[in-house]
């Protein structure tokens, strides 16, 4: 059994409590227009070409087994992902997203920072993409970590079968659960999928007494009118340890371009004050809301 991973980030402080290592699973059932991890949307391996870093040496062309006329125009449809071009690039202008890991390999990678976890009340966070969209691997991985006494968090969009939550629940300390919009039509327009399953799963986790930290990405003028409705809904649930309002930014633009993907990032700004207003909106409903900019 192997998992497809788009990246691993160490010393992460924004994906749960303490000092954590975050594993970004590749592939997501949603297509959020503001997605800041575009390399984690597709379920297959991808090559990205960062033109700004390229010095035009054509080492990649020479290294390519097929000696293909490397036009450097992503998404490289005929690529066999031998990665010779990536390894030959002297400036890291070519990056491969999507590496297959066995459970042992991934464990070995994330446990490098184990000494830091215990001193920082940290652990490992499964993120993405949607980590639970590779359910067997994610559950097995979480189980192995849990058996080692490592704290495991899951960062999820919630758009997965409820059975997956049932299976992984015993191994998870906290779910970082995205709620992006309450209105089903708006949710569909913004993410490509409706939110019924997402909200059902959230209610399910709540009933199972799971620890849940809600993540609300605030994109001013896009989903900012949803705050009140989301807050009203969340106030009916148990187990919400925190509601974190995340400030939208458009820093991922270069990666959309590098991956040859259409840039769907909304051209809007979300300010500190916008986030603060949303935080107050949640607090009015008695929810433990925090400004993600401060955390």
Partner 1 sequence: MNREALANFVFNNGAIENESSVFEKDCENIAYLLDHCEITISQNDRFFVKTNVKRLQAEVLHKRYAALIKEIKTVEIQNGERTRAYTGIFDFGHTSPIWQNVLNLGIVGLRNELMQRAKNGTSEKQKRFYAGCVRIYDAALRFLARVSEFALNAGKTEMAEGLHNLCKRAPSNLFEALQTIIVFYNLQHDFECTNLRTLGRLDGLLYPHYTATEKTFAAKMLQDFINEIDRLEAPSNIPFAIGGTDEHGNTLVNPLSYELLDLYANAETTNTKLHILCDQTTPEDLVKQAFRCIRLGKNSIVFISNDTAIKGLKALGAAHNDATNYHVVGCYECGAQGEVTCSCNARVNVPKALEIVLNSGVDTYTGISLAENIPGSFASFDELYAVFEKVLLTFTKRAIFATDRWEEKYPLLHASPFFSSTYPSAMEKGGDIYCDYAAKYNNSSINAIGLATAVDSLVAIQKLVYIDKKYTLAQLKKILQNDWENEEILRLTVKNNYPKYGMGDPTVDELAKRIVERLARYVNGRKNVKGGVWRLGTFSIDWRWNFGEHTHATANGRKAGETLSQNTSATFGADKEGATAHLLSVSAFSHALTPNGSVADIDLHVSALQGENGINAMYSTLKTYFERGGLAVHYNVLDTEVLKKAKERPSAYPNLQVRLCGWNVLFSSLNEKEKDEFIARSLEKENV
- Positions that interact with partner 1 (CB under 8 A): 9-15, 17-19, 22, 36-37, 52, 55, 57, 59, 87-92, 112-113, 115-117, 119-122, 127, 249-254, 271-272, 293-295
Both tokens of 108, joined, read 């070995």
Cβ 7 to partner 1, closest distance in Å? 9
**Residue among 184 and 224 whose Cβ is closer to partner 1:** 224
**Residue among 94 and 139 whose Cβ is closer to partner 1:** 94
Secondary structure of residue 244 in the 3-state scheme: strand
CB-side neighbour CA atoms (13 Å) of 238 = 7
Cβ 52 to partner 1, closest distance in Å? 5
Cβ 59 to partner 1, closest distance in Å? 6
**Residue among 59 and 206 whose Cβ is closer to partner 1:** 59
- For 3-31, the DSSP string reads EEEEEEEEEESSSSSSSEEEEEES--S--
Cβ 255 to partner 1, closest distance in Å? 9
Cβ 8 to partner 1, closest distance in Å? 9
**Residue among 25 and 206 whose Cβ is closer to partner 1:** 25
Cβ 162 to partner 1, closest distance in Å? 26
Is the separation of the CB atoms in 45 and 158 below 8 Å?
no
**Residue among 17 and 130 whose Cβ is closer to partner 1:** 17
Q: What are the φ and ψ backbone dihedral angles of 66, each rounded to 5 degrees?
A: -80, -5
**Residue among 72 and 250 whose Cβ is closer to partner 1:** 250
**Residue among 117 and 137 whose Cβ is closer to partner 1:** 117
Distances 190 to 33, 174, 251, 253 between C-alpha atoms, Å: 6, 26, 18, 17
Cβ 89 to partner 1, closest distance in Å? 8
């Amino acid at each position: 059994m192997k998992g497809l991973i788009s990246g691993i980030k160490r010393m992460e402080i924004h994906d749960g409590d303490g000092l954590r290592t975050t594993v970004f699973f590749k592939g997501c059932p949603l297509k959020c227009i503001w997605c800041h991890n575009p390399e984690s949307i597709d379920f297959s391996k991808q090559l990205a070409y960062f033109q700004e870093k390229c010095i035009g040496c054509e080492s990649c062309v020479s290294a390519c087994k097929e000696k293909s006329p490397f036009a450097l125009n992503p998404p490289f449809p005929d690529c066999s992902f031998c990665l010779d071009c990536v390894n030959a690039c002297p400036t890291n202008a070519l990056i491969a997203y999507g590496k297959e890991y066995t459970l042992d390999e991934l464990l070995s990678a994330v446990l490098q920072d184990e000494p830091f976890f215990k001193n920082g009340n940290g652990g490992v966070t499964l993120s993405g993409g949607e980590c639970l969209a590779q359910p067997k691997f994610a559950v097995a991985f979480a189980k192995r970590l849990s058996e080692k006494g490592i704290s495991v968090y899951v960062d999820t969009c919630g758009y997965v079968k409820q059975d997956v939550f049932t299976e992984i629940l015993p191994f998870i300390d906290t779910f970082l659960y995205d709620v992006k919009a309450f209105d089903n039509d708006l949710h569909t327009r913004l993410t490509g999928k409706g939110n019924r399953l997402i909200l059902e799963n959230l209610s399910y986790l709540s009933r199972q007494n799971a620890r849940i930290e809600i993540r609300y990405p605030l994109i001013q003028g896009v989903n900012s009118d949803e705050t009140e409705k989301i807050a009203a809904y969340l106030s009916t649930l148990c187990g919400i340890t925190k509601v974190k309002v995340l400030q939208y930014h458009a820093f991922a633009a270069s990666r959309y371009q590098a991956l040859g993907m259409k840039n769907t990032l909304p051209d809007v700004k979300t300010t500190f004050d916008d986030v603060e207003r949303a935080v107050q909106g949640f607090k009015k409903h008695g929810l433990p809301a925090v400004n993600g900019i401060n955390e």
